[in-house]
Structure 1
Amino acid sequence: MTKRLENKVALITGAANGIGYAIADLFACEGASLILLDMEYNDLKSRISELEAKYDVNIIGKKADISDRAAVQKAIGDAIAEMGSLDILINNAGRNIFSQPMDLSQEDWINCFNINLSGSWHCIQAVLPHMLKRKYGNIVNISSVHAHKIIPQSFPYPVFKHGLTGLTKSLGIEYASAGIRVNSISPGLILTPGTEAYFDSCPSPDEERKR
């Protein structure tokens, strides 16, 4: 039986845990070679070992903070050179920062922007030259239901997920004629380790879950 992603190379950010790791597991099951990016490198190495024990696929792991453009350029550039090609980018890395607008610190505003919007753009910038040269590529940005529905006290996370939707549409129109598809997925609540940690940090975790 032919696997759907056989002979494809996929880059997944935020791959050490949660949604990113689940995507990596599915893609490996479907035969893809993987480039996995995460700033938590020890966790990433453990996940790579798990995947290599389950699947006969080529996997490269790289440590990088996606908010650091230079680090992203180097990590992704080196990984593509090692792997030889790239077909798919999954921009999964993100960070939940929820607040009331006037309570938000400038530091949290910048961090939320850097990870949830600017970081995705850094990764796209790193892969676009390769995809344009090949006239082929698939970019999927993991957005959020918060890009479509606003709830109180969730600022500024929805701001940057709306921005990610705009980035997706803009690039999709810009590069469709070059053979590059750009799409986004907007998951609802998924109880990843990161989500559980957020709930546990709230003054009333049960109330926050209901909200």
Structure 2
Amino acid sequence: MIGETQMQQLLIPISDEAPSGPPLYAGNLRLYHQHLPDRHLQYDDVASLGFAPFVEKPRPVSSDPFFEYVEQAPVEQDADKAWVQNWVRTPVSFGNESDREPLLRAHLLDGLADLRWQRETGGITLPDGTPVRTDRHTQSQLTAAVVQVQAGVLSEVRWKLDTGFVTLSGPEITAIATAVTGHVAACFAAEETVAAQIAAAATVEDLRAIDIQAAFDAALTNAQ
């Protein structure tokens, strides 16, 4: 019997002995080629079909994400003829010494904005343990629902949480919207606090000493 691991193995289309398209799951190929063996597929199993095994290495976590890019490297073929996607670490270049300070400051502010967006839209957990999404679409839906409740159009709302569908009363949907709005406001307040720290840094050394993630986390805790 074919297991989930075999179905989710990645394969990549090959043309002229080189990758020619995005990878796909082996399960898709097995639907049309049921003669394939019930195991992890090797190069010889799929080469005649125009495919080869594909291995995507996990993206490494940068130890210094604001001063180092982690980028995809060109795919390479290993000893088993599988194509492997690796990653490379590239230090951030800030140009000449005279240009370094403003470029570094702008780089930190861009990274800070991205971090705030990730935290803002990453969801929250209510005091009762219920997870709630906080992406921009959910924020808009909650605002619209509260407006309808406050206008007397709705007395309750049918809603979908990660735990399933629920019926929420007017006060309940308003409480959720209030929690989400408070979370979003705290994220922006934290960004403002750290942005001020970046603005106050006078030298390149001062800028490099700022730990954006730690500073943001501390500011967010204070803002909540």
Which TM class, normalised by the smaller chain length?
A: under 0.3
Larger radius of gyration: 2
TM-score normalised by structure 1 residue count: 0.24
Q: From the two aligned structures, give the one with the greater helix fraction.
A: 1
| Larger RCO (CA within 8 A; separation ≥ 6) | 1
Under a length normalisation based on structure 2, what TM-score does the superposition of the two structures give? 0.23
